[in-house]
Amino acid sequence: MKTRKSLLFWYAILGFIVLMTVFASVVAPYGPNDMNMDNVYGAPGDGHLLGTDHLGRDVFSRLLAGGKVTLTVASVSVLLSLVLGVLYGGISGYIGGFIDTIMMRLLEAFITIPSLIIILAFQTVMQGGMWGMALIIGLTGWLVTARIVRSEFLRLKEAEFVQMANMFGTPMWKIIIGHLLRNSVPAIFVVTLFNFAGAIFIEVSLSFLGIGIPPAIPSWGNMLYYAQNDILIGAWWIGLFPGIMIFITILAINFIGEGLKNPQRR
């Protein structure tokens, strides 16, 4: 009972953040790139709820617009890695045998490479902006999904109802989609949630380093990039709020993931 309540609470938090960022253009009092050179480094309050940054831009408005970018990049990349992971894991798990062994060895090798380094390297060559970023994160993020899908498929393939379906001569695609994939949905959903948190982490980290989303587009990571210097002159609000938003978003995702994960285990 207690977990249900806390789950609802975190759903509400995450939903609120998503809604606020989706309707950023309506909710935000200023445009994300509206500069006001008369009011740089304005402290929170006094017309600007969360203060202004080094160009006099409203931090609150930028926070909402930035959230939209960050969450869009994370969502697109997660969708991409979901598709890739299901395909790879599904093929490996369904066919099994020798091909499965080869595919899994390859996967193990990929998993050992720190994905951040690969993304870093690709960013230098591609410099593709927001969509390029989503593409790269998606291309490097499907490994765990594939592993989960594969083990689910292996397990379900031996299940009695699948054997039965096989015996009745159910077509292959129906077994794969209707039985194997459908019964793996809960597990896939949980791992996708954690992937989502991971994608946010990567976008934020890279933009923070200045090699992620181009500086012209506000994102939570980009805002922190400038905050590094701003904090040294005492403008703490520029760095504090994006960080808190990232923290709460990831916290909500993690709690939801944990809440969904536990009942299934037993």
Partner 1 sequence: MTAKWIGKRMVMGTIVLLIVSFLSFFIMHAAPGDPATAFYGGNAQTLTTAEKERIAQAFALDRPVLVQYGVWLAETLTGNLGYSSKEGRPVATILMERLPNTLLLFSVTLFFIIIGSIWLGTVAGMKEGSLWDRGLSTFSIATSSIPAFWLGILFISFFAVKLGIFPSSGTGEIGGDGGLVDKLRHLIMPAAVLILTHVGIYARFLQESIKAESRHYYVMVARANGVAEKEIRQGILRNASMPYLNYIGMTIPSFFGGSIIVESLFSWSGLGQLTVKAAMTKDFPLLMGGILWTGLIVVISLFIIDLLMYALNPKLRKGGVR
Residue numbers 161-180 binding partner 1 by CB under 8 A: none
Which region among 49-57, 64-72, 121-129, 180-188 touches partner 1 (by CB under 8 A)?
A: 121-129
CB of 30 to partner 1, least distance (A): 24
Which of 43, 228, 263, 264 is close enough to bind partner 1 by CB under 8 A?
228
Q: Which is nearer to partner 1, 75 or 123 (CB)?
A: 123
Half-sphere exposure of 98 (CA within 13 A, CB side): 0
Which of 75, 110, 132, 170 is close enough to bind partner 1 by CB under 8 A?
110
| Position 43 contacts partner 1 (CB under 8 A) | no
Provide the sign of the torsion angle of the four alpha carbons 248, 15, 237, 72, taken in this order: positive
Which region among 21-29, 53-61, 74-82, 196-204 touches partner 1 (by CB under 8 A)?
A: 196-204
Q: Which residues contact 61 (CB under 8 A, 6 or more apart)?
A: 24, 28, 29, 30, 31, 32, 34
Task: Evaluate whether 59 touches 240 at the Cβ level (below 8 Å).
Answer: no
Residue numbers 198-217 binding partner 1 by CB under 8 A: 201, 204-205, 208-211
Cα–Cα–Cα angle for 3, 185, 81, nearest 5°? 105
Which of 26, 37, 125, 167 is close enough to bind partner 1 by CB under 8 A?
125
Q: How many residues bind partner 1 (CB under 8 A)?
A: 43
Paired strand residues for 58: 52
Q: Which is nearer to partner 1, 100 or 258 (CB)?
A: 258
Task: Evaluate whether 85 touches 196 at the Cβ level (below 8 Å).
Answer: no
DSSP letter (8 states) at residue 54? T
Q: Which residues contact 220 (CB under 8 A, 6 or more apart)?
A: 63, 66, 67, 69, 70, 203, 204, 207, 242, 245, 246
Q: Which residues bind partner 1 (CB under 8 A)?
A: 105, 108-118, 120-125, 197, 201, 204-205, 208-211, 224, 227-228, 231-232, 234, 236, 239-240, 243, 246-247, 250-251, 254-255, 258
